[in-house]
């Protein structure tokens, strides 16, 4: 498809784009996230049942961000945003900060961020770098013991859905990168984009649950596929 026909791009990324930076994906073959069952660390019920386990889990994930760097795929998407003449929105399911560090102005974290804390008392969400274990006070209301990771857990409503759906309705091109197509509502974005008349492209290591929904699919590592695709887009822009 010619870039000249495309003005508005919406990109969805998942854990696969960060895999080559050394961040483990979610549903690696064992179905576990860093050796934990998802229902033990990624639901509100898990947090109520064992807050120490859940806080420690996300404290470790947050601390680990200091040991990883954006890879060629993150950098290529930042270049595309900077050089693309039309509309651009990057929607990530990732809670890591690798897209942020690659440099974006049009990025939304639909599942929240490791580097933010949410107060269950006053609902303020604030940047957060250190641990949450030990009951630090909320920077907004001063209460101790009310902060949780600002992560959207299973059963909770993803962030920025209005902005995402508006962008999908106007998209000429929807690209899904490094996501298994198993977690809704993100897995349904391809259908929304198709319905709006967008061309749809999957870039993933292997065929995913969503592959049949896309007009076009390319399979291989993100660090190779994404820079090559960005070159094509900018050459045709």
Answer for which of 10, 95, 116, 190 binds ligand NAD (CB under 6 A) is: 95
Residue with tokens 């696969």: 16
What is the set of active-site residues? 111
Beta bridge partners of residue 12, listed in sequence order: 91, 176
Output Rg (C-alpha) for the chain, integer angstroms.
18
Answer for which of 138, 192, 221, 229 binds ligand NAD (CB under 6 A) is: 221
Answer for which of 8, 10, 12, 14 binds ligand NAD (CB under 6 A) is: 14
| Span interacting with ligand NAD, options 52-60, 87-95, 133-141, 193-201, rule CB under 6 A | 87-95
Answer for which of 89, 90, 119, 230 binds Zn ion (CB under 5 A) is: 119
Beta-carbon-side half-sphere exposure of residue 225 (alpha carbons within 13 Å): 19
Answer for which of 138, 164, 193, 233 binds Zn ion (CB under 5 A) is: 138
From the list Zn ion, ligand NAD, none, pick the one residue 141 interacts with, judged by a Cβ distance below 5 to 8 Å according to partner type: Zn ion
| Span interacting with ligand NAD, options 21-29, 44-52, 160-168, 229-237, rule CB under 6 A | 21-29
Which of the residues 174 through 233 are near Zn ion (CB under 5 A)? none
Structure tokens at 133: 């274990």
Q: Which ranges constitute the DSSP H helices of 121-221?
A: 161-169, 189-195
From the list ligand NAD, Zn ion, none, pick the one residue 178 interacts with, judged by a Cβ distance below 5 to 8 Å according to partner type: ligand NAD
Beta bridge partners of residue 218, listed in sequence order: 203
Q: Are 64 and 92 in contact (CB under 8 A)?
A: no
Cis peptide before 109 (omega within 30 of 0): no
From the list Zn ion, ligand NAD, none, pick the one residue 122 interacts with, judged by a Cβ distance below 5 to 8 Å according to partner type: Zn ion
9 contacts ligand NAD (rule: CB under 6 A): no
- Considering the complex, state which of residue 85 and residue 184 has its C-beta at the smaller distance from ligand NAD: 184
125 contacts Zn ion (rule: CB under 5 A): no
18 contacts ligand NAD (rule: CB under 6 A): yes
Q: Are 139 and 118 in contact (CB under 8 A)?
A: no
- Rounded-to-10 torsion of CA 226, 175, 114, 123: 160
- Measured CA to CA in angstroms, residue 195 lies from 155, 161, 198, 215 at distances of 26, 17, 7, 12
Structure tokens at 135: 């009951």
- Contacts to ligand NAD by CB under 6 A: 14-16, 18-20, 23, 25-27, 33, 93-96, 111, 178-180, 182-183, 204-206, 208, 221-222
């Amino acid at each position: 498809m010619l870039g000249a026909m495309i003005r508005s791009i919406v990109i969805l990324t998942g854990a696969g784009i960060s895999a080559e930076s050394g961040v483990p994906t979610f549903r690696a073959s064992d179905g576990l996230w860093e050796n934990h069952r998802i229902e033990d660390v990624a639901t509100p019920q898990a947090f109520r049942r064992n807050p120490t386990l859940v806080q420690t889990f996300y404290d470790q994930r947050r601390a680990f961000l200091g040991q990883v760097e954006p890879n060629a795929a993150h950098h290529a998407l930042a270049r595309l945003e900077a050089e693309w003449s039309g509309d651009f929105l990057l929607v990530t399911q990732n809670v890591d900060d690798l897209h942020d560090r690659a440099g974006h102005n049009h990025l939304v974290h639909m599942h929240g961020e490791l580097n933010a804390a949410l107060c269950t008392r006053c609902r303020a969400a604030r940047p957060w770098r250190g641990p949450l274990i030990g009951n630090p006070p909320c920077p907004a209301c001063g209460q101790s013991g009310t902060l949780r990771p600002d992560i959207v857990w299973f059963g909770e409503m993803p962030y920025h859905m209005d902005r995402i759906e508006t962008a999908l309705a106007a998209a000429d091109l929807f690209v899904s990168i490094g996501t298994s197509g198993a977690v809704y509502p993100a897995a349904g974005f391809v259908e929304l984009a198709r319905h709006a008349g967008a061309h749809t492209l999957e870039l993933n290591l292997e065929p995913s649950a969503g592959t049949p929904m896309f007009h076009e699919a390319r399979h291989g590592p993100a660090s190779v596929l994404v820079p090559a695709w960005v070159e094509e887009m900018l050459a045709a822009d």
